[in-house]
Amino acid sequence: MDIRQITYFMLVYEEKSVSRAAAKAKVAQPAVSMQIKHLEEEFGFKLFERTQSGVEPTRHAARFYRHCIGISRSFSLAQQEMRDIGSQDNLGGSLRIGLPGSVTRGLLTRILSPFLISYPDVDVTISEAYTGTLVEWVKSGTVDFAVGARPQKQRGLMQRLLYRDGVVVMSGTPLNGPNFAPIDLTKEPGLKLILPSANQSYGGFVRERIANGTIKSERVIEINGTVSSAEFARTTDWGVVAPFVAVVNEVAQEDLQNDLYIYPVVKPKIPFDLYLVYDERKPLTPAAKKFIERIELEMKWLKTVWETLKIRSGDDRL
């Protein structure tokens, strides 16, 4: 048994398909099948049952997979530690990051600009998407890590809470009195709301509350794009339901508030927790750790601005 066989086995186990495992490993399908066969011959039992739709792991495979996670993680940690030793004085390489539109709109400039100045030899690629897509990018190796709303628990993914965010309604028209007045969506009738799709972020949560009558809404429009939904709300009497991180700059900079009304939601409580997500078998590089430190630093600033908003609103429910 060697690390290549372990890698192929884990891919087949996770994908439930030899062909998909081979594609992810970037090798021919017979190479994966042969290594799985060698493992089965060595152990003396089947790891997978072949079906018309692919393969199904046996109970022995499930037990072996649990051991493989630890082996794979230890191997990757050893590799990364050795690389770190060689790059302590010269942080470089490439860094691929997945972020939701709310974070890119509200914090990207504050995070990215100082990072690029501090680490000029790191090539950074930022990709924007909703959480579901970001998780798929982490699993496929398209990005090194992502930040998004809490995804469903998935095998092989590390998830760490970074920030518990508040949610606001933003509009170019006063929908609930003066700026920063708390809004109770269960009592405010006739609202026209802009939401992401039901399978993204809090879109499904809000739609469920509208369907059962908890949230009073006259009409809903779906716009899957943080910038586009914010700009539409800014120039109409529609209100976009958005995490506070998406509008933090408008709150922090007084001169941007002339054509914008921001109302923190006090009821119902709409969850929007931001999580760091990465593959547990691929340890974070020194560059990734430094970038995450920048994210966490700006999350502290975000919390400070939110506390200021709470004081302005005069409502203890925030």
Q: Does domain 167-270 have CATH number 3.40.190.10?
A: yes
Look at residue 238 in the predicted model and tell me its pLDDT: 95
Helix (H) or strand (E) run with residue 111 in it: helix 101-118
Residue-wise pLDDT tens digits, 199-250: 777 888 999 999 999 998 899 999 988 889 999 999 999 999 999 999 998 8
91-164+274-306, CATH topology level: D-Maltodextrin-Binding Protein; domain 2 (3.40.190)
For residues 124 and 97, the answer to whether their CB atoms sit within 8 Å is yes
Distance between CA atoms of 242 and 230, rounded to whole angstroms?
9
Query: Which sequence spans correspond to the domains of the chain?
Result: 3-85, 91-164+274-306, 167-270
What is the percent of the chain where pLDDT is above 70?
Answer: 94
Contacts of 258 (CB under 8 A, 6+ apart): none
Name which of 99, 98, 97, 100 is nearest 226 in CA terms. 100
Distance between CA atoms of 53 and 170, rounded to whole angstroms?
47
For residues 245 and 107, the answer to whether their CB atoms sit within 8 Å is yes
One fold for 3-85 and 91-164+274-306: no
The angle subtended at Cα 246 by Cα 244 and Cα 247, nearest 5°, is 70
Q: What class, spelled out in words, does domain 3-85 have in CATH?
A: mainly alpha
Residue 247 DSSP label: G
Name the amino acid, one letter, at 254: E
Number of neighbours of residue 29 by Cβ within 10 angstroms:
15
Q: What is the pLDDT confidence band of residue 130, given thresholds at 50, 70 and 90?
A: confident
